[in-house]
């Protein structure tokens, strides 16, 4: 598995940091936008909202490639109330309307395994909607995660 590392300029004055030992959750999202989005487009959109930059730690593009967003030691901006203890993983596209691609599914399985192996304190993997009133990560992606056992009980 290869993770692409684009050069993203974050607003450091808005960035919060944490020890990586605090990471106990992975929260899965869909971008609810175009399946062709990339991390730089999302980064620019989040900067325009006044954030430090992209709120997700990882983005899985439609072709299955994985792009790095926020550093893992940086507190995310993807799930209010859960950002300080979680990594945000987003799948490009609207998975409420369309299923993720096969390449996205394969990359998601691989990435979640690598993250769980890298951060032994992770004990919970759930979709965004487990924490707030939202359709995210979309019905098709949630169905896949439930069926394959990506989501923890």
- Token couple for 15: 């960035």
pLDDT tens digits, 10-46: 999 999 999 999 999 999 999 999 999 999 999 999 9
Domain count, the chain: 1
Asked if residue 78 belongs to a domain, the reply is yes
Please state whether 53 falls in left (phi above 0), alpha (psi between -120 and 50) or beta: left
Average pLDDT value over all residues in the chain: 96
Residue 142's pLDDT is what?
97
Determine the pLDDT at residue 153: 75
Distance CA 78, CA 25 (A): 12
Q: What domain range is 57 assigned to?
A: 24-148
Cis peptide before 137 (omega within 30 of 0): yes
Cα separation values, 109 from 28, 105, 116, 119, 125, Å: 12, 6, 11, 16, 12
Does residue 6 lie within any of the structural domains?
no
Query: Does residue 136 fall inside a structural domain?
Result: yes
**How does pLDDT run across 61-105, given as a tens digit for each residue?**
999 999 999 999 999 999 999 999 999 999 999 999 999 999 999
Does residue 153 form part of some domain? no
Output the domain CATH number for residue 69.
3.40.80.10
| Within a domain: 19 | no
Q: Would 144 be classed as within a structural domain?
A: yes
Q: Is residue 5 situated within a structural domain?
A: no
- pLDDT (average), residues 122-130: 97
Domain annotation covers residue 12: no
């Amino acid at each position: 598995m290869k993770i692409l590392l684009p050069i993203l300029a974050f607003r450091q004055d808005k960035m919060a940091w944490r020890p990586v030992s605090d990471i106990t959750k992975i929260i899965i999202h869909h971008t609810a936008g175009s399946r062709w989005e990339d991390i730089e487009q999302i980064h620019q959109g989040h900067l325009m909202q006044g954030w430090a930059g992209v709120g997700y730690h990882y983005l899985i593009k439609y072709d299955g490639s994985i792009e790095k967003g926020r550093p893992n030691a940086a507190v995310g901006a993807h799930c209010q109330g859960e950002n300080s203890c979680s990594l945000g993983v987003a799948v490009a596209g609207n998975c409420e309307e369309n299923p993720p691609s096969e390449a996205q599914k394969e990359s998601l399985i691989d990435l979640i395994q690598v993250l769980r192996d890298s951060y032994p304190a992770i004990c919970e993997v759930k979709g965004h909607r487990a924490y707030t009133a939202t359709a995210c990560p979309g019905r098709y992606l949630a169905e896949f995660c439930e069926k394959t056992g990506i989501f923890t009980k």
